[in-house]
Amino acid sequence: MDLGQYVQLYLVTLRPISWEQLLETLEAAGLSLSSRNDDIIAWLVWQSSRGSIRLSANVHHGSLDRYFVELGFDSNVFASMRAPDERTQVLQDFVGIGKSLWRAHEFHEGEISPEEQGPLLSFAESEGMEGIKKWLPVDNYARFLSPSLTRLGELHDWLLEVYPTAEVVPLPRNGLLVTWDPSTTGTSRFLSLF
């Protein structure tokens, strides 16, 4: 496993999110602010089920008039974990942070992937359901989907048919969370991307 790349949570919204709103939500989820470099980056401490992990956080206005929230941690944290189920638990805990953010803010989509790897579905929406289906599972551990991304068809049933290892759970505001394979085998497959 090539360690050192960041495990990244990207969330995209059509509405601005301030640093104060983001930090308030993260603190409510149990993270604590360590330091902040103006409006560029913040460092937080996350007490995961497997120990203390340092997270970076960023919020900015980007392309397609979208606003991006990014959280990440160095994949080196997995090197000290002997048992595969420990790695799986940390990823599931990270998904839990994403769920907390999703509950508190109106996001359009999100994913947990290696930094700068997974394509965002906003860029494939114009391709319709086939574009969404094509890019949905590429290079990510989990996807957060708003109704506008799932309304294009019976995405829920299609996901379970085509990806039988996927865990599909509802999110607030009629969203869906898809974890492609929450097992230790799925975690190992995801971590092989690093």
Cβ count near 80 (within 10 Å):
9
Q: For 115, which DSSP code?
A: T
Rg (CA), the chain: 16
Long-range contacts of 130-139 (CB under 8 A, 24+ apart): 133/158, 136/178, 137/163, 137/180, 139/113, 139/114, 139/193
Q: What is the pTM of this model?
A: 0.91
What tokens were used for 89? 């638990």
pLDDT at 113: 94
* Dihedral angle, C-alpha 87, 82, 186, 69, nearest 10 °: 20
What confidence tens digit (pLDDT) does each residue in 94-144 have? 999 999 999 999 999 999 999 877 667 877 777 777 777 887 877 899 999
Could you tell me the pLDDT band of residue 154, with boundaries at 50, 70 and 90?
Answer: low
Per residue, the 3-state secondary structure of 108-172, as one string, reads EEEEEEECCCCCCHHHCHHHHHHHHHHHCCCCCCEEEECHHHHCCCCHHHHHHHHCCCCEEEEEH
What tokens were used for 76? 């080196």
What confidence tens digit (pLDDT) does each residue in 67-90 have? 999 999 999 999 888 888 999 999
List the chain domain ranges.
6-191
For residue 173, pLDDT beyond 80: yes
